[in-house]
Structure 1
Amino acid sequence: MNQTNPSTHVAASEKPRTGGEALVAALADHGVEQIFGIPGTHNLAVYAHLSSYGIKHFSPRHEQGAGYAADGYARHSGRVGVCLTTSGPAILNAAAAAAQAYSDSVPVLFISPGLPLQHPGRGNGYLHEIKDQSRAMDSVVAYSHRVTSVEEIPLAVAQAFGAMTNGRPRPVHLEIPLDLLDVEAVAPAVAPVPLQPAAPAQRLVQDAARLLAEATKPGIVVGGGARHAVQELTRLADVLGAPVITTANGKGVLPAGHPLSLGAGVHHPAAADFAAGCDVLLAVGTELAPSDFWIGPLKAHGQLVRIDVDPQQIITNALPDVALVCDAAVGLKELSEAVSGANDTAAADGHQRAATWRERVQEDARNEGRRYLDIVEGMAAALGENGVVSADSAMACYYGALSNLPGHRPGSFLYPTGVGTLGYGLPAAIGAKLAAPDRPVMAMHGDGGLMFSVAELAGAAEAGLSLPVLVVDNGGYGEIRDEQVARGDRPLGVDLGRPDFVGLARSLGCYGLEVPPDGNLADGLAQAITDAFTVDRPTLILVREPQAEGENE
């Protein structure tokens, strides 16, 4: 992911600035235009300067929501998201969002004040005192860094952006001792680190190209690490005639309408059979992680080529025959040039192979998500090819929308894959909507997950966001209920009743309505979502999922 519009050179300033202003100036120098956070006693010296540097602020109702919103902003825009909290419990509230961003390789900068420089090491009961919040955050992000002077702040920001925008993007936490925020000092600006997309070793490119050129049944698996490589991936797939299947985070990298697209969802049995039947499989920007495959590790019986910017990840979960450690766009481009026109027979057969496997994958997807197909049909009709869905970790999302909702472009299906947090959908949709105010953006939730972040409806209403929030209500934690039943256990703690979500939305300043599941659900839902895109606030749209026999009301 690249941070857009940074200064190419930032002149050093000799004017003394407070630590709070030095931080904000450094963020502005790195192209930051939007921050998500909640002001508190210890970060007011930062808030005092946001407006004068042209940085917009969104106030969520919980710091976890701020982290998810920054994540959604980053996933959709390709820019670094920024979450600003106060010290102690506030930054810990955001820790789950930081863990999710780390798991899914999303560049989010988490910033918080810390205890004063001379604070007693064993503590003394200071307000918001945490034993070691930097170490706590360091356990869930790429790294956490505590600065020790005002002069260091611009350097620390530049280092964080350099880490997040070069190589594998992962979140960083920056802690600034609160007593530095009001201290004045000369803090020379530090220019953004130039982007340096990693290039592969040419010998290995030739080895990979030879395997792919000789393949008669090539295939490609694509993850979120290729979201910026749409043209390069499309060209190579066309040259090879290689069908392409994507993970959840790779959804839309090859548009759903492309004749070589098998869609998203590598967990389907048909996807496993497809991979096993390829004589050469190319995996691009994907961890090949258990959280993607669900039913076991990748079954690659042929030879495996991997492209990944992370040299550790490229040998994790599956050992490749050829490993290209490089930026996905660079590696795909060089492979395309090396194999161009090398295997006309495979290219000619590719569309037929893709059509056969696509039907098998889609059949698996329809069977898995059959109870949600009308819902997904209504969503697709309202969203068109330009829409964005921010999905929660809910049955309607991963069984219904993940594989059955067409993906037309990268960054249009935001989903918390690895850590699988609940409550992600709504705040991440807020972030995506602020990143792309002219695009139709909606959130998709189950009833259980919505309650983790339902308060964020108030912030979205206050900001006047035209945001449909679809809630598929199955009366509780449906997935966990099913797992308890499968174990032979009596369901316990999973039946949450059915709150008045429509009334709750209205009480938070939103519109709310229910679409009955009987009649033509797809048409009714499509109209409700379409209408919600045109109004001046969020609209909660409730669909009650019919319960299977034996489930509690």
Structure 2
Amino acid sequence: MKQQRTCGEALTALLEAYGVDTVFGIPGVHTIELYRGFKDANIQHITPRHEQGAGFMADGYARVKGKPGVCYIITGPGMTNIVTAMGQAMQDSIPMLVISSVNRTAQLAMGEGRLHELPNQLAITKGVSRYNHTLLNVDNLPKVLAQAFAVFSSQRPGPVHIEIPIDVLAQDASHIDMTPWPMPAPPAANPQSIDAAAALLASAERPLMILGGGARHASKPAQALAEKLVMPIVNTCNGKGVVPSSHPLCIGSTPSHPAIREEIEQHADVVIAVGTELAETDYDFFFLGDLAMQGKLIRVDIDNGQLLRNHRPDVPVLADASLALAAINSQILDEKSSKMDAAVARCKAIQDKTLDMKKATYADFFATLTDTLGDCVIVGDSTQPAYYAQAYYETHHTARYFHSTTGYGTLGYAFPAAIGAALASPETPVIGLTGDGGGQFSLSEIISAVDAQVPVIYIVWNNSGHGEIRRFMDDANVTRTGVDITSPDYAALAAAMGCASATVNSLEDLKASLLAAKQHTGPFLIQLNEDALGCGYAF
């Protein structure tokens, strides 16, 4: 008698019940059962050309959509391929669900040379996941998925890996309750912690707020608290747009800049840091040394371990950012009427100090993008304009700019991650911004965008090799080795893949190509020669 529903079919149906609408994956002989349920599911499947691309697509999707990106991954090499993407998502606290197959239950850990066999897949993914599990009993599928989605709903997010033996994937799951489990809400803060934080802020003469990626959903209470205390606001790179850059109290999104570091370290008597690691890649981008704050520090984070890393807090607040800020806000009196003018002047003075490294050529490049496309999403790789954007590109909303330049710092991110971002927000123009060196890590994903007809706009910033590392070698008096690589003609490659393309050598040509790309129904690649623009290094 034919089974009514296999474990693989039940998994797909349960994912749909949890709100999943897109899966990224490359089908393989071990994952056939994962795909049996697609015929009855309202879930689109996107096929990358490499499992790392699947992970980066899920990452870009999650950042823009605000819910987990999901991947179906083959046993063994599929898992080792996606680990780099999981590392990037782990570093940036991006929700990602990786479902993989693994060898049959009776064959696990036997080392018998089975197809795709790894001695211990979970050991490989342990360091790049918040939770990982081997499903050995089909009856536990609803519980395990509930634990996975609980990570996304109520903890510091990141990748989750669930592996399922291929024999378990084929087992009968007709008896399983397919109702999603209720999800726990994110935690509120201890009242004593809120009292201590509010008291410290109320006594401050020169308070300052820093907003990291963990404050992405806390825009309203963050802005309300800053306005009550009339304090400057610093958004980190992953916090760009949490408070709009146009807000008069917002002083920029690079706490690495010497002027902003000086304000944090020497002038602020109380700093409230929300959802930020206070780590090197955000605060020491120019290698000036770790932060040394002289004032008091309030840290708000959903991760108890993170509260005690990098910098000792005077008041640690373990809670969801939005709930904590709202609670603190309820205890603070509104002072903006008497102090706002002075605070705005203070912020303007700090902003003016940050303009010393701003380059007009890069400013004009980004202005061309936004003036032509309007509200758009820019997904950056490790490339000169992304380094510049770390310091100077500002947004009015969250999830409008993100990159792999900082944090884990992988290459090959933009091509696939921009696909995920465009699928998450099809009404918003999405730019994948990569260098000619980094782009070679994942240029095959251009054809994935063609297959799916995703209207992503790719811009390849061509400086004939690994320009940033070339500069570091020169500065260190090291003979250039391995950095002057041959770069392909990206426009010709894109055309060969069925992707519309153009090569531009001026901002006027770039604008014309952006307008053409905006009207195009599929992906469009623009190759831009850095030398023609006269940009040079970002800093």
Equivalent residue, structure 1, for 2:122 = 134
Partners of 1:467 and 1:394 lie apart in 2 by 18
Partners of 1:49 and 1:147 lie apart in 2 by 18
Partners of 2:366 and 2:530 lie apart in 1 by 13
Residues 361 and 535 in structure 2, CA contact (< 8 A), matched pair in contact too:
no
Shift of 1:293: 1.5
Secondary structure at the aligned position of 1:118 is classed as helix
Summarize the alignment of residues 328-339 of structure 1 with structure 2, pairs less than 5 Å apart.
328-339=321-332
Equivalent residue, structure 2, for 1:286 = 276
Equivalent residue, structure 2, for 1:378 = 368
Equivalent residue, structure 1, for 2:251 = 262
Q: Which amino acid aligns with 1:475?
A: S
Summarize the alignment of residues 354-503 of structure 1 with structure 2, pairs less than 5 Å apart.
354-364=347-357, 366=358, 369=359, 371-384=361-374, 386-398=375-387, 400-416=388-404, 417-503=406-492
Shift of 1:209: 1.2
Q: Which amino acid aligns with 1:354?
A: C
Shift of 1:121: 2.8
> Is 2:177 the counterpart of 1:188?
yes
Secondary structure at the aligned position of 1:281 is classed as strand
> Is 2:144 the counterpart of 1:151?
no
Shift of 1:414: 1.9
Equivalent residue, structure 1, for 2:39 = 51
Equivalent residue, structure 2, for 1:544 = 529
Aligned counterpart for 1:317 among listed residues 310, 328, 332:
310
Aligned counterpart for 1:65 among listed residues 53, 70, 79:
53
Summarize the alignment of residues 33-44 of structure 1 with structure 2, pairs less than 5 Å apart.
33-44=21-32
Judged with a 3 Å threshold, the aligned counterparts in structure 2 of structure 1 residues 234 and 549 are, in CA distance, closer, same or farther, namely closer
Report Cα offsets for 1:499-543 as digits up to 9, x if no partner.
2111011111111111114xxx2x432332232122012111111
Partners of 2:491 and 2:108 lie apart in 1 by 50
> Is 2:209 the counterpart of 1:225?
no
Paired residues, number: 528
Moved more, 193-202 or 428-437: 193-202
Residues 168 and 310 in structure 1, CA contact (< 8 A), matched pair in contact too:
yes
Residues 149 and 183 in structure 2, CA contact (< 8 A), matched pair in contact too:
no
Residues 257 and 391 in structure 2, CA contact (< 8 A), matched pair in contact too:
no
Judged with a 3 Å threshold, the aligned counterparts in structure 2 of structure 1 residues 531 and 443 are, in CA distance, closer, same or farther, namely same
Equivalent residue, structure 2, for 1:8 = none
Report Cα offsets for 1:165-220 as digits up to 9, x if no partner.
21211111000001111121422335334231211122221221122122221111
Q: Which amino acid aligns with 1:380?
A: T
Partners of 1:120 and 1:28 lie apart in 2 by 29
Q: Which amino acid aligns with 1:310?
A: D
Judged with a 3 Å threshold, the aligned counterparts in structure 2 of structure 1 residues 351 and 87 are, in CA distance, closer, same or farther, namely same
Secondary structure at the aligned position of 1:36 is classed as strand
Partners of 2:63 and 2:193 lie apart in 1 by 31
Q: Which amino acid aligns with 2:436?
A: D
Partners of 1:89 and 1:340 lie apart in 2 by 57
Partners of 2:370 and 2:292 lie apart in 1 by 32
Q: Which amino acid aligns with 2:397?
A: R
Q: Which amino acid aligns with 2:488?
A: P
Judged with a 3 Å threshold, the aligned counterparts in structure 2 of structure 1 residues 550 and 341 are, in CA distance, closer, same or farther, namely closer
Partners of 2:62 and 2:333 lie apart in 1 by 34
Shift of 1:155: 1.5
Report Cα offsets for 1:38-72 as digits up to 9, x if no partner.
11111111112123121111111111000000011
Report Cα offsets for 1:438-489 as digits up to 9, x if no partner.
1111111111111111111101112112211011111111111111111111
Shift of 1:370: 5.2
Residues 213 and 342 in structure 1, CA contact (< 8 A), matched pair in contact too:
no
Judged with a 3 Å threshold, the aligned counterparts in structure 2 of structure 1 residues 550 and 323 are, in CA distance, closer, same or farther, namely closer
Aligned counterpart for 1:532 among listed residues 511, 517, 536:
517
Secondary structure at the aligned position of 1:496 is classed as coil
Q: Which amino acid aligns with 1:396?
A: P
Aligned counterpart for 2:300 among listed residues 307, 311, 322:
307
Q: Give identity over the alignment, percent.
A: 37
Residues 530 and 536 in structure 2, CA contact (< 8 A), matched pair in contact too:
no
Shift of 1:264: 1.2
Shift of 1:16: 5.5
Residues 436 and 465 in structure 2, CA contact (< 8 A), matched pair in contact too:
yes
Partners of 2:336 and 2:380 lie apart in 1 by 40
CA RMSD of aligned residues (A): 1.9
Aligned counterpart for 1:504 among listed residues 493, 501, 504:
493
Moved more, 280-289 or 339-348: 339-348
Partners of 1:344 and 1:336 lie apart in 2 by 16
Residues 232 and 333 in structure 1, CA contact (< 8 A), matched pair in contact too:
yes
Shift of 1:407: 0.9
Partners of 1:423 and 1:344 lie apart in 2 by 49
Superposition TM-score, scaled by structure 1 size: 0.92
Equivalent residue, structure 2, for 1:28 = 16
Shift of 1:342: 5.1
Partners of 2:516 and 2:258 lie apart in 1 by 38
Equivalent residue, structure 2, for 1:326 = 319
Aligned counterpart for 2:62 among listed residues 63, 74, 84:
74
Q: Which amino acid aligns with 1:240?
A: L
Unmatched tracts of structure 2, length 5 or more: none
Q: Which amino acid aligns with 1:429?
A: A
Judged with a 3 Å threshold, the aligned counterparts in structure 2 of structure 1 residues 257 and 343 are, in CA distance, closer, same or farther, namely closer
Q: Which amino acid aligns with 2:290?
A: P
Residues 376 and 404 in structure 1, CA contact (< 8 A), matched pair in contact too:
no
Partners of 1:17 and 1:236 lie apart in 2 by 52
> Is 2:92 the counterpart of 1:99?
no
Residues 214 and 343 in structure 1, CA contact (< 8 A), matched pair in contact too:
no
Judged with a 3 Å threshold, the aligned counterparts in structure 2 of structure 1 residues 74 and 117 are, in CA distance, closer, same or farther, namely same
Judged with a 3 Å threshold, the aligned counterparts in structure 2 of structure 1 residues 88 and 244 are, in CA distance, closer, same or farther, namely same
Shift of 1:343: 7.0
Q: Which amino acid aligns with 2:84?
A: A
Partners of 1:195 and 1:279 lie apart in 2 by 36
Residues 308 and 326 in structure 1, CA contact (< 8 A), matched pair in contact too:
yes
Judged with a 3 Å threshold, the aligned counterparts in structure 2 of structure 1 residues 200 and 342 are, in CA distance, closer, same or farther, namely farther
Unmatched tracts of structure 1, length 5 or more: 1-14
Secondary structure at the aligned position of 1:458 is classed as helix
